[in-house]
Amino acid sequence: MVVAIASLTFSAWQYTDTKERTEKQQAKQELSLNNQKERERMAANSQIRQSALMAGRSQLALIKAKRRMMITTQNSYAIGNPVQSQSSSGSSPLGSGSGSNSGSGTGGKA
C-alpha cells in the first residue's frame, strides 16, 4: 500500500514536472519566434527607410542637376550664347549690307 501511494505520488510529480517543462519549452519557442519576427520587421523597416533615403537623395540630386542646368542656360543667354547671337552680311540684287539680330543695320539702293 505504501509502495502504491509512493508510486502514484511519483507518477503525479513526474507528469507535473514534464508538463511544466513542456510549457516552459513552448513559451521559450514562442518568445524566440516573436523575437525573430520582430527582428525581421525591424530589418524590413530599416530597408524601407534606407530605400526611401536613397530615393530622396536621388530626387534631390535630380533637382540640383535641373537647377544647375537652368542656371547655366540662363547664364549662357545673359552673356550671349553664340547660337542666339547671330549676324549676317552679304549682297543681293537690291544692294549690299550687314545686320544683326539686334535690329540695326544699313542697306543700299540699286
pLDDT tens-digit readout, 74-90: 776 666 555 544 455 55
pTM, two decimal places: 0.42
Model confidence over 6-65: pLDDT tens digits? 887 888 888 888 999 999 999 999 999 999 999 999 998 888 888 888 888 888 888 888
Cα–Cα dist 14/20, whole Å:
10
- Which of 86, 82, 108 minimizes the C-alpha distance to 97? 108
> 80 in the Ramachandran plot: left (φ > 0), alpha (ψ -120 to 50) or beta?
left
